[in-house]
Structures are given as C-alpha cells and as structure tokens.
C-alpha cells in the first residue's frame, strides 16, 4: 500500500498546498516530487510500467506549474484541485482502455514473479485500477461541486480530498490481501 501512496505524494502535496485558486506552488511541488521520484526510481531499476502515475504526474504538474506562473488568474481558476483529480481519473481509465492497468507495474514489484502471468493477477489489477478510477472520478466530481456551490467549506473540501485517496487505498490493501490468499489456496491445485 505504501508503494501506491508514494506514487500519489505529488497529488497529496498539491491538494495540501493549493487553496482558493492559488495553486502555482502546489503544482510546482507536485512536479518536483514526481520528477525526483521518476529519477530515483529509474536509477533503482524500476520499470517504466511501474511509474505510470509518476509520468502522468510530471506531465500534468509540469504543464500546470508553467501555466499557473505564466497566467493570472491561474488557468483552471478555483477548479484546479478538481481538475487535477480528473487528470488522475483520465490516467486510470485510459490505462484500463488500453488494457494496461496502471497498477500492474506496481503490483509486479510487490508480487512473486510466478503470479505475474496469471489471469487472477491481471484480473485483480483490473479491479484495483477500476476502484482507483472510480474513486478519482467521484472525487473530481465532488470537488467540482463543492468548489462551485460551497467554495469556503474547507472541512468538506479536505474530507473529500482525504476520502478520495484513503478509501481506494484501503480497498486496494484489503482486496490485494484477499487475492493473495486466493492465489495461495489455488496454488496446490495447479501443482
């Protein structure tokens, strides 16, 4: 689960540092965290397919930081936080559309090699990526609605942001454990 959370640190920092339509520094922090993570992980030998979120983060936050510093007011206005989570939703849904769930590379770094090619492993990653994609979509919609109708409801905005990452992380951890138990239970039957 920590591998997933590390992947989302740029997004979490952006969520924390971006308030009231002021997100240039949040975008810059997100870009720097994503870029550093990419460099460190590549030097450590982490494959590109395990860094889909980091690549997407660097692209999004790099572009947003340039735009936010270049234009006043910022191009996305108060909707920057909703748009950023919307970008994550597009990344997750896009990875499913091309049949390469973004969680697949991350899961390969955590699961035994003999599991990587199994249908259960691929199906589990489709399920987990779908959970994240749905959570991002709901989070983006919830943030957009709150920012439109109650932009000063800070506690509600924080709650939506926190739930948008916490709920899918908990589901991922529990589902991954259940899938691992299922794989162990069926392993003797395959031998």
Q: What is the pLDDT of residue 61?
A: 94
Residue 59 CB-density burial (10 A; 0-12 exposed, 13-18 middle, 19+ buried): middle
Q: What is the pLDDT of residue 189?
A: 54
Which residue in this structure is represented by tokens 């206005």? 77
CA distance 51 to 180: 23
89-133, pLDDT tens digit by residue? 999 999 999 999 999 988 888 888 888 989 999 999 999 999 999
Chain center to CA of 88: 6
Residues of the chain above pLDDT 90, percent: 52
Joined tokens for residue 141 = 């919609």
Q: What is the pLDDT of residue 191?
A: 47
Q: What is the pLDDT of residue 110?
A: 85
Q: What is the pLDDT of residue 188?
A: 60
CA distance 26 to 3: 22
- DSSP secondary structure letters along 153-184: -HHHHHHHHHHHHHHHHHHHHHHHHHHHHHHH
Task: Spell out, as residue ranges, where the chain has pLDDT lower than 70.
Answer: 1-5, 19-21, 188-191
Q: What are the sequence ranges of the domains in the chain?
A: 2-185
């Amino acid at each position: 689960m920590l591998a997933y959370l590390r992947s989302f640190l740029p997004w979490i920092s952006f969520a924390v540092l971006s308030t009231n339509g002021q997100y240039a520094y949040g975008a810059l922090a997100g870009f720097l965290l994503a870029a550093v993570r990419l460099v460190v992980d590549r030097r450590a030998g982490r494959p590109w397919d395990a860094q889909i979120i980091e690549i997407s983060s660097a692209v999004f936050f790099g572009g947003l930081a340039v735009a936010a510093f270049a234009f006043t007011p910022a191009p996305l206005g108060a909707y920057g936080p909703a748009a950023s989570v919307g970008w994550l939703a597009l990344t997750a849904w896009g990875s499913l559309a091309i049949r390469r769930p973004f969680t697949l590379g991350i899961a390969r770094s955590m699961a035994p090699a003999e599991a990587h090619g199994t249908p259960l492993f691929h199906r589990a990653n489709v399920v987990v990526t779908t959970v994240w994609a749905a959570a991002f979509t709901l989070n983006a919609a919830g943030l957009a609605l709150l920012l439109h109708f109650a932009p000063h409801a800070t506690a509600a905005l924080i709650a939506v942001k926190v739930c948008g990452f916490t709920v899918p992380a908990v589901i991922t951890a529990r589902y991954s454990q259940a899938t691992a138990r299922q794989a162990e239970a069926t392993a003797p039957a395959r031998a």
